[in-house]
Amino acid sequence: MTIRCVVERITYQNPENGYSVLKVHVKGYDDLVTVVGNLLDANVGSVLLVEGEWKVDTRYGRQFMAAKWEETLPATIYGMEKYLGSGLIKGVGPKYAKKIVQKFGTDTFTVIEDDIQLLIEIPGIGHKRIRMIAESWERQKEVKNVMLFLQEHGVSTAFAARIYRQYGNESIAKMKENPFRLADDIWGIGFRTADGIARKLGFGKEAYVRLRSGIMYTLSELADEGHVYARKEQLIEKASSLLEAEDNCIVMTVDQMLRDKDLIQEEDAVYLPPFYYAETGTANKLKRLAAEPARDRLWVQLARARRDTGNENLSVDVTRIGQALGMEYDEIQADAIRRAAMAKVMVLTGGPGTGKTTTTQGIIAAYRAYGLKVLLAAPTGRAAKRMTEATGLEAKTIHRLLECKPPEGYQKDEENPLEGDVLIVDECSMIDIILMNSLLKAIPAGMRLILVGDIDQLPSVGAGNVLRDIIDSGSFPVIRLTRIFRQAQESRIVMNAHRINGGQMPDISNGKGTDFFFVQREEPEEAAAEIVKLVKEKLPRYYGKAPADIQVLTPMQKGVVGATNLNLALQEALNPEGDGLRRSGFVYRVNDKVMQIKNNYDKEVFNGDIGMIEAVDVTERTLTVNFDNRKIVYDATELDELVHAYATTIHKAQGSEYPIVAMPVLMTHFVMLQRNLIYTGITRAKKVLVMVGTKKALAYAVRNVTVTARCSMLKERLSGERARP
């Protein structure tokens, strides 16, 4: 049977599988009806035609089980008011929806469609708002058409707004012409979605456009796993499996793509062109940079003094630098400062508590004593902020340093290089091959480069293993700080991080005065409940911190103690009520903690940035997020760029520090339980770390060093083991 209903509220949605529970208004029923099924894209106020059957659930009572559904425009006054007031149409909230429907009744939609200027008769609605309503109404119609097209082709309609934003009124025409372009052009739409549409449109399995897109997708997937290239055999195997095509078809397509320069092959390695040019560009520029003398006063004076005295070890006076800063440097730190005085490219690495920051301060002081202009940068906003606080000098994100301006890209490059004598970059383990190449392009030949980072942390989220490859190449001076300073030894977080890094079980004895706690919980559900209690009650009460200062870090996205589920549980506990905008099963409310999950160069917010929602406008369908005192406005169609950040994955927390961290460690995460992952998670905590889970899972992680090797040839290119292209 089929029912026509108006969505009154959304009780539950699972964004992973689309399962939803809706409360709907059905003509002839006094009470709201419960509809369950895959209804992920339904909005409050939507009018649905739902095909299905009634059933009685032992726990929840009578429900309508949806098998198929489609959205339609409402025909009743009630439905019209609900639809207009839902926030789908910009410029109309519940207040104006009521006024408009009271005035025009069942003719409301006809008025908006054919004679919208009549809305001026409604008090409070001016010409500016009418224009906004008209634009939004047209856009919504077009988005609906895209939704219908996607529905017809068995694809989730959640992508409709994103597709329309990219292609506008040409959306359907472009999808029909080449559906595979969706995978290239639209973030979040992969090859499989595009392939589903293509199949329905009659594209054959062995169509060249399909095979080409599948091969590009395979290489992109490998890049997402950290690989800069694929071995040819590996590429053919993976692409054949994805495309369900014969190996010879894949080989022929790869060969054609090589001829067309869509791919680049060097020996057995097959690259997407951006990664090939990034790797070769990075290697060549680092070697050129190291070979070229610096042009600053310190370099010139030291070079002359060494020549005149015959003392090649002559350098800056570290004792005097230490006195000026009120610091005492050990021999390794002093060596780092002295070597930096004559280094063009140098790496400074070490774990927590080993004095990377104080050593960096000494290096900066040495340079500035000779009048050198020092630039400071880091991959993330939080890391740059920490650098500023530690040094007293302005540090920028790499994107800001390079003056990223979309759509043109970076303004700083070979033609318009950075101005200064030295560039010091922190948290370099996070820098992938693409970003490193962009950064190096902007460094003039006479500038020095000092790379600082913890080599034992997780590698970059993007492709490559840049810092490790630079160190392992043996081509540049590397200072590894190993001594843990007395003050740091008092922190069990620091000492346990080093124990884990050395393959030893951490001290989990708890007790008063410690900053490292372990709470034993066997079952994932118990661990999730304990984490909610810790964040909501226990930790704020004990440490006098707000829940917003407590960050939950978890190894995985999915599962009971994965980031998605923990976010839902924590939002319910900390911020359950208030107006919000809904997207893909989530509600975004004022005071929600959120994270940006893609680089948005227009807004100057980047993957991993965390902020708080400060305002929600349900009429305009916008919300405002405060990122470190920068207020960024998001339209409802842009909410796929945000996720809740009460909990986040450890990967996403790289480059950040938090006062208090709570972290589940259970065997349900065993796929991700690796030593460098746990080490990275622990070192994000500044003052307090609470682990929740089992000793077995922690012991497994400490033992597990089987990190998947990344396909990269940067080390070989730097060391000269690979011929220069």
- Tens-place pLDDT, residues 19-65: 889 999 998 888 899 999 888 667 777 788 899 999 988 888 889 99
Kindly tell me if the per-residue pLDDT of 411 is higher than 60: yes
pLDDT score, position 119: 92
* Residue that has been written with the tokens 């002359």 in this structure: 304
Whether 74 and 47 have beta carbons less than 8 Å apart is answered as yes
Whether 138 and 114 have beta carbons less than 8 Å apart is answered as no
CA distance 650 to 491: 21
CA distance 380 to 429: 12
DSSP letter string, 283-351: HHHHHHHHHSPP-SHHHHHHHHHHHHH--TT----HHHHHHHHT----HHHHHHHHHHHT-SEEEEEE-
Considering the chain, what is the average pLDDT of its residues?
Answer: 89
- Whether omega for the bond prior to residue 407 falls within 30 degrees of 0, making it cis, is yes
CA distances from 344 to 111, 299, 424, 476, 508 (A): 70, 9, 11, 9, 44
Query: How big is the CA angle at 586 (ends 581 and 589), to the nearest 5 degrees?
Result: 45
Closest CA to 88 of 49, 50, 44: 44
Whether 358 and 567 have beta carbons less than 8 Å apart is answered as no
pLDDT score, position 725: 46
Angle between helices 356-369 and 318-325 (to 10 degrees): 110
Which residue intervals of 515-593 are DSSP H helices?
524-533, 539-543, 563-574
pLDDT score, position 724: 46
Give pLDDT tens digits for 160-173. 777 877 888 888 88
Over residues 489-512, mean pLDDT? 90
Kindly tell me if the per-residue pLDDT of 76 is higher than 80: no
Give pLDDT tens digits for 231-243. 999 999 999 999 9
What band does 281 get if pLDDT is binned at 50, 70 and 90? very high
Q: What percent of the chain has pLDDT over 90?
A: 54
Which 3 state secondary structure label does DSSP give 66? Answer: strand
Over residues 71-83, mean pLDDT? 76
Other beta carbons within 10 angstroms of residue 687's beta carbon come to 15
Q: Quote the pTM value.
A: 0.80
CA distance 478 to 349: 8
CA distance 544 to 538: 10
- Chain-centroid distance, C-alpha 257: 31
Q: Exposed, middle or buried by CB within 10 Å (0-12, 13-18, 19+), for 560?
A: middle
Closest CA to 695 of 456, 507, 464, 429: 507
What band does 388 get if pLDDT is binned at 50, 70 and 90? very high
CA distance 673 to 666: 9
Parallel/antiparallel/unpaired status of strands 61-72 and 230-231: unpaired
Give pLDDT tens digits for 361-379. 999 999 999 999 999 999 9
E strands within 574-620?
580-583, 586-589, 593-596, 610-617
Contacts of residue 171, Cβ cutoff 8 Å, sequence gap at least 6: 142, 145, 146, 149, 163, 164
Over residues 408-429, mean pLDDT? 93
Give pLDDT tens digits for 208-251. 999 999 999 999 999 988 999 999 999 999 999 999 888 999 99
Q: Exposed, middle or buried by CB within 10 Å (0-12, 13-18, 19+), for 354?
A: buried
DSSP letter string, 155-204: --GGGHHHHHHHHGGGHHHHHHH-TTHHHHHSTT--HHHHHHHHHHTT--
| Across 311-325, 382-396, 597-611, 689-703, least confident range | 597-611
Q: How many CA atoms lie within 13 A of 359 on its CB side?
A: 33
What band does 135 get if pLDDT is binned at 50, 70 and 90? confident
Kindly tell me if the per-residue pLDDT of 193 is higher than 60: yes
Kindly tell me if the per-residue pLDDT of 487 is higher than 90: no
E strands within 398-447?
404-405, 409-410, 422-425
DSSP class of 709: P
Kindly tell me if the per-residue pLDDT of 196 is higher than 80: yes
pLDDT score, position 154: 64
CA distances from 595 to 567, 613, 641, 678 (A): 11, 10, 8, 21
Kindly tell me if the per-residue pLDDT of 406 is higher than 80: no
pLDDT winner (highest mean) among 108-117, 424-433, 629-638: 424-433
Kindly tell me if the per-residue pLDDT of 129 is higher than 50: yes
- Chain-centroid distance, C-alpha 578: 27
Tokens, residue 633: 């406005």
Contacts of residue 5, Cβ cutoff 8 Å, sequence gap at least 6: 24, 25, 26, 33, 35, 47, 48, 50
The end-to-end CA distance of the chain, in Å, is 67
Over residues 347-370, mean pLDDT? 93
